Chain A
Amino acid sequence: MYRMEGLEVPALRGVTLTVARGDYLAIAGPSGSGKSTLMHLLGGLDRPTTGQLSIDGRDVTQLSATDLAQLRNRTIGFVFQSFHLLPRTSAVDNVGMPLVYAGVRAAVRRERATEMLDRVGLAHRLSHRPNQLSGGEQQRVAIARALVTAPSLLLADEPTGNLDSATGADVLALLESLNESSGVAVVLVTHDHEVAARARRQIRMRDGLVVADSVVVADAAQVGGP
C-alpha cells in the first residue's frame, strides 16, 4: 500500500492518494503541477513536511535517511526520463548496481542482472556500455535496473520523454507487460496525454492538487478527466 493523505506543502496542497499492489497508474499534469514532487514522495526520495505518507505500511516521516535508503532499495524501482545509467559501465553492471546496496554477492548480482536484461529483451547487450546502446535500449536497461530487486512499485518519470514515439510505445508496452506478469505497481509521471491514457488509472494534477482521478479501461485510447 502506498498512501499519502492530507499533504500540505507548497508543491502539494491537498493530495490523498492510495496506490495498490499491481496498479497501473498515470500521474499527468502540466509542469509545476506538483506531479514530480508527488513522485519523489511516493518513491521515498523526499519526506513530506506535513501530512502522512506510508510506504509498504511504514510511516516515511519516521524513517531515517538510512532506513529510507533501504526502503527504496527493497520496494521501489525508478525509471527516469534521461535514463541515468552510469557511463563507462556495462549494461549488466548498471542493472546489478541496486543489488550492491542490498549486499548481494557479485556472482549472484551478475546472474540476476542477466536474467533481468533477458526479460527486457536485451540478452544480447550484456556487456555493452550506455553509449553503445540506442535510447530505447538504454531505457530498457534502466527498467531492468529498476526491477532487479523485485520491488513492489516502479516509478517512471517521463520514461518516454527522450524517445521517439515508436520506441516510446515499445517501452510502455514493456512496462505494461512487466506490470501484468510480475504484479509490480507502475506509476507513470507524464505530461503526455497519450501516454497517460494507456494507464488503467489516471490522476490529473494542477497547482498541487489532484483535479481528477479516473479509472479507465486499460486499452482505451481516450483521455480521461476534464
Chain B
Amino acid sequence: MRLAEAWRVALDALRANRLRSGLTMLGVVIGVAAVVVLVAIGTGAKQEVESEVEGLGSNLLLVVPGQVSFGQAPTVSPMNLSDVDVVTRLAGGRDRVAPTVSSGEQVRAGTISRFSNVLGVTESTPRVFVRTLAHGTYLTRSDVDTGRRVAVLGYAVAQALFGDRDPVGQQMDVAGVRFRVVGVFTRLGQSLGVDRDDEVHIPITAAQRLLGTSRVDGLAVKATDQSELGPLGARIVAALGKRHPGTQFSAVTQDQILGVLGKILGVLTGVLAAIAGISLLVGGVGVSNIMLVSVRERTREIGLRKAVGARPRDIVVQFLIEAVLLTAIGGLTGIGLGIGGALLVAALSPVPAAVTWWAVALAFGVSAGVGILFGVVPAQRAGRLDPVVALRTE
C-alpha cells in the first residue's frame, strides 16, 4: 500500500470519530503545552536572574561573612566601618567599595506609611553598582561622614509615599526619625516577584545610629579589571579573617553567583519539564487506549482489508499512522497553546517566560514518539488479527 493512502485512511478514521479523536488529542495537547510553558518559565527565570546579576555592574566582588551557599542561614556580620577602611585600602580607593547595612523599617510621609527595605550605604554605591537617579542627587561624601539624615528613594517608595508629587526636598520618617528626601531612583521593575524599587538609601552612618548597631552586613568591591577579581578577593578575605579570627569570609564574583543560581534554576527547569513530561506520558497512554478501542471497533474492517489483500504490515502502518497523527496534531496544537500561554504568562504576571526552540522541538518530538511508542501495541494487535475471526466479529 502506498503511504499516501495510509495517511488518507488514517485521517478519515480520525475524522469519523471527531469527538473521540479530539478528547484523545487533548491529553497530548495539555502535555505538550505544559512542557512548553513550564520550560519557558524556567528558562525565563534563569535569563532574568542572569541579566540581573550582570546588570549589577562589572567586575564586582561581593564580600560577606560566612560561606556562600544557598540554604544557609545568614550569619550576623562581625564587620564594622574600620573593616571597610581596610578593604578600601586594599581595593585602591573609597569609590571602589560599597558597604551596606540593611533592615526592614517603617517609612512614613504624612499619613501614608509602608514597610520598606532601608539600606545604609555610602556615596560610592552608584559608582560600584549601576544605579541611576530620576530626580535630585545621590548621597554625598559629607552626608556619609556626618551621618546626615537624608534619603534617596526607590521608585516604588516614592510613588507610594508621594504619588505624583516630586519627593525631592520633602520630609519623611524612617523608623520614626525625620529624614529629608534628596533623590529618587529610576525604576528597576520587579524580578522573580521581588519589587526592586522598594528601597530607601540613607548614609550608612545614619543607618547605624538608627538601628543602634555598628555592624556592616556586606560590601561590594569593584575591581579594576576581571583578572584582578581573584587575587583581590583572596587578599580581602585574608585581611578580614585576620581581624575577626573564627569567622570565615567569602568574596564571590558575579560568575560564581551565576553558576550557583544557574544550577538551581537548571534543576528547577528540569523538575518542571519532568512533571510536564509525566502529563505527556499520561496523554500517550490515552492514545494507546483509544487506539486499542479503535482496533476492536474496526475488527471487521481489518478482516475485510486483510481478505482483499492487505498485508499485516499494511494494517500495522495504517494504525501507527493514525496514532502518530493523533499525537502530532495534538502536539502542534499543544505547541501553539504553549507558546501562547508562555507569552500570556510573561505579559500578565511577574513570572518571566522565554519560549525556547529546543523545548518546542523536544515536546513535538516526544509527542510524535509517544504516538509511535503507544501506537505500536494496538497496531501490532490489529496486524496480527486472523481475518476469518475478524470477519465473523459482529
Binding site for B on A (CB under 8 A): 40, 43, 45-46, 65-66, 69-70, 72-74, 77-78, 80, 84, 86, 88-89, 97-98, 100-103, 105-106, 145, 149
Contact = CB atoms under 8 A, between A and B. Distances in A.
A45 B388 CA distance: 6
Contact of B391 (A72, A84, A145): A84
Nearest to A46: B388
A66 B312 CA distance: 7
28 contacts: A45-B387, A45-B391, A66-B312, A66-B313, A69-B311, A69-B314, A70-B309, A70-B311, A73-B308, A77-B308, A80-B391, A84-B300, A84-B303, A84-B307, A84-B391, A88-B16, A97-B305, A97-B308, A100-B1, A100-B5, A101-B1, A101-B308, A101-B309, A102-B309, A103-B1, A106-B5, A145-B308, A149-B309
Contacts of B12: 88-89
A65 B311 CA distance: 7
Contacts of A103: 1-2
* Range for the number of chain B residues in contact with chain A: 20 to 34
A149 B305 CA distance: 14
Contacts of A88: 12, 16
Contacts of A40: 388
- Give the secondary structure class of B's interface: helix
Interface of B: 1-2, 5, 12, 16, 300-301, 303-314, 387-388, 391
Contacts of B308: 72-73, 77-78, 97-98, 101, 145, 149
B312 A69 contact: yes
Given A80-B391, A84-B300, A86-B301, A74 B309 contact: yes
Given A43-B307, A88-B16, A101-B311, 13 more contacts: A45-B306, A66-B312, A69-B309, A69-B311, A69-B314, A70-B311, A73-B309, A78-B307, A78-B308, A80-B391, A84-B304, A101-B305, A149-B308
Nearest to B394: A82
Nearest to A83: B304
Contacts of B388: 40, 45-46
Nearest to B306: A69
A66 B307 contact: no
Contacts of B306: 45, 69, 72
B4 to A, nearest CB: 8
A161 to B, nearest CB: 14
A72 B387 CA distance: 12
Contacts of B314: 69, 101
A213 B109 CA distance: 115
Contacts of A72: 306-309
Nearest to B383: A65
Contact of A66 (B301, B304, B311, B387): B311
Nearest to A43: B307
Contacts of B300: 84
A103 B307 CA distance: 16
The 6 A-B pairs of least Cβ separation, nearest first, read A73-B309, A98-B308, A101-B309, A69-B311, A66-B311, A84-B304
B312 A65 contact: yes
A45 B391 CA distance: 10
Nearest to A69: B311
Contacts of B304: 84, 86
A149 to B, nearest CB: 7
A72 B304 CA distance: 11
B392 to A, nearest CB: 9
Contacts of B311: 65-66, 69-70, 101
A117 B212 CA distance: 103
A54 B307 CA distance: 17
